[in-house]
């Protein structure tokens, strides 16, 4: 049997819970399908969210789940694996649920560079967002691992938090740096080091250095003392459900994301996207705002649809 909800929110992060909160308060029968894989799980704290600065992400989500429960919103720990054009959603458990409207808040996954130690330290002293973590590691010895020519921008940005920044070109050739890149890196005081990075040096459970490849017959090249390493993970949007629904996607340097209107509605009527399912750079506070906006729009649309149907009858 298929159970029907007015709105199903797929994804239980900041965007999904925010949408569910607004919908629950609007007395809409709402279900949140949460696979339990938040993007910021490796981080000990989240920053930049007014009134919640420094709060652990897991605690933030736990509070959010408690809040939506007060308004009758249901939450199931499961994964949506298939969706039809009439919004019948099959879950990994085998259950099927149906909705009048959908909010896709499935986020994205970060694929880290294949450098020894990076994955193990990610969220601790291997970081990706200076706005999220820069203040906490300010004035330490920074490294930036280049993976694309766009990594220059990251090296320049993090120089606001430290005057000791080393830019490891890694897989980027020196020839790929433009004249403007070189001038800006020099003006920011960023040291540029060519050569591929082999791995990180970890001592007493903390990052102490970045080691280049090669150099000796036994392996291992020059080591640079560093306390923090910034990396740019490859973003992998979790957009499979949007593709199944036929939503139009736009290609960006950070993956393919849905084309949206100002409320977050996709090109598929009745389907909204919010948070990192809608874009790479959505921080927690932005994701929550997008979920709120989508939910308010959905509630109004459902109301008008039902009123118009009643008039026709």
Task: Give the DSSP letter string of the chain.
Answer: --EEEEEEEE--SHHHHHHHHHHHHTT--EEEEE-S--TTTT-S-B-SSTT-TTB-HHHHHHHHHHHHHHTT-EEEE--EEEE-TT-EEEETTS-EEEEEEEEE---EEEEPPS-BTHHHHBTTTEES-HHHHTGGGTTS-EEEE-SSTTHHHHHHHHTTT-S-EEEE-TTS-GGGS-HHHHHHHHHTT-EEE-S-EEEEEEETTEEEEEEES-SSTTS---EEE-SEEE--PEEEE--HHHHHHT--EEEETTEEEE---TTSB-SSTTEEE-GGGT-TT--HHHHHHHHHHHHHHHHHHHHHHHHHHHHH-
pLDDT digits (tens, 9 = 90+) for 282-313: 999 999 999 999 999 999 999 999 999 999 87
Please report the pLDDT score of residue 220 as a whole number. 60
Please report the pLDDT score of residue 289 as a whole number. 97
Q: How does residue 194 score in pLDDT terms, banded at 50, 70 and 90?
A: very high
Q: How does residue 187 score in pLDDT terms, banded at 50, 70 and 90?
A: very high
Please report the pLDDT score of residue 217 as a whole number. 44
Task: Indicate whether 54 pLDDT > 60.
Answer: yes
The pTM assigned to this predicted structure is: 0.93
Q: How does residue 214 score in pLDDT terms, banded at 50, 70 and 90?
A: confident
Domains of the chain: residue spans and CATH? 3-110+234-312 (3.50.50.60), 113-230 (3.50.50.60)
pLDDT digits (tens, 9 = 90+) for 143-160: 999 998 889 999 999 999
pLDDT digits (tens, 9 = 90+) for 78-136: 999 999 999 999 999 999 999 999 999 999 999 999 999 999 999 999 999 999 999 99
Task: Indicate whether 219 pLDDT > 80.
Answer: no
Task: Indicate whether 55 pLDDT > 90.
Answer: yes
pLDDT digits (tens, 9 = 90+) for 14-53: 999 999 999 999 999 999 999 999 999 999 999 999 999 9
Task: Indicate whether 1 pLDDT > 90.
Answer: no
Task: Indicate whether 244 pLDDT > 70.
Answer: yes
Nearest CA among 170, 208, 164 for reference residue 190: 164
pLDDT digits (tens, 9 = 90+) for 57-88: 999 999 999 999 999 999 999 999 999 999 99
Please report the pLDDT score of residue 216 as a whole number. 47
Task: Indicate whether 174 pLDDT > 70.
Answer: yes
Task: Indicate whether 201 pLDDT > 70.
Answer: yes
């Amino acid at each position: 049997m298929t159970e029907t909800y007015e709105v199903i929110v797929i994804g239980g992060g900041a965007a999904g819970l925010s949408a569910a909160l607004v919908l629950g308060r609007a007395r809409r029968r709402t279900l949140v399908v949460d696979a339990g894989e938040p993007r910021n799980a490796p981080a000990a704290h989240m920053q930049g969210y007014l009134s919640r600065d420094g709060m652990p992400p897991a605690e933030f989500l736990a509070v959010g789940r408690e809040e939506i429960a007060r308004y009758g919103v249901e939450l199931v720990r499961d994964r949506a694996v298939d969706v039809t054009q009439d919004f019948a959603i099959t879950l990994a458990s085998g259950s099927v649920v149906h909705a009048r409207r959908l909010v896709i808040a499935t986020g994205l996954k970060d694929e880290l560079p294949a450098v020894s130690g990076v994955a193990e330290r990610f969220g601790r002293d291997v970081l990706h967002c200076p706005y999220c973590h820069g203040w906490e590691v300010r004035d330490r010895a920074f490294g930036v691992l280049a993976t694309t020519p766009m990594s220059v921008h990251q090296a320049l940005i993090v120089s606001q938090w430290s005057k000791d920044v080393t830019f490891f070109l890694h897989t980027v050739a020196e020839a790929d740096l433009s004249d403007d890149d070189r001038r800006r890196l020099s003006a920011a005081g960023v040291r540029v080091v060519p050569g591929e990075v082999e791995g990180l040096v970890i001592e007493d459970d903390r990052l102490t250095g970045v080691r280049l490849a090669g150099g000796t017959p036994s392996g291992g090249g020059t080591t640079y003392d560093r306390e923090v390493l910034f990396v740019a993970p490859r973003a992998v949007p979790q957009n499979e459900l949007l593709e199944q629904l036929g939503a139009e996607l736009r290609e960006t340097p950070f993956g393919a994301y849905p084309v949206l209107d100002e409320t977050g509605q996709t090109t598929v009527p009745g389907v909204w996207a919010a948070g990192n399912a809608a874009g790479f750079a959505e921080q927690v506070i932005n994701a929550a705002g997008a979920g709120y906006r989508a939910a308010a729009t959905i509630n109004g649309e459902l109301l008008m649809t039902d009123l118009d149907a009643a008039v026709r009858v």
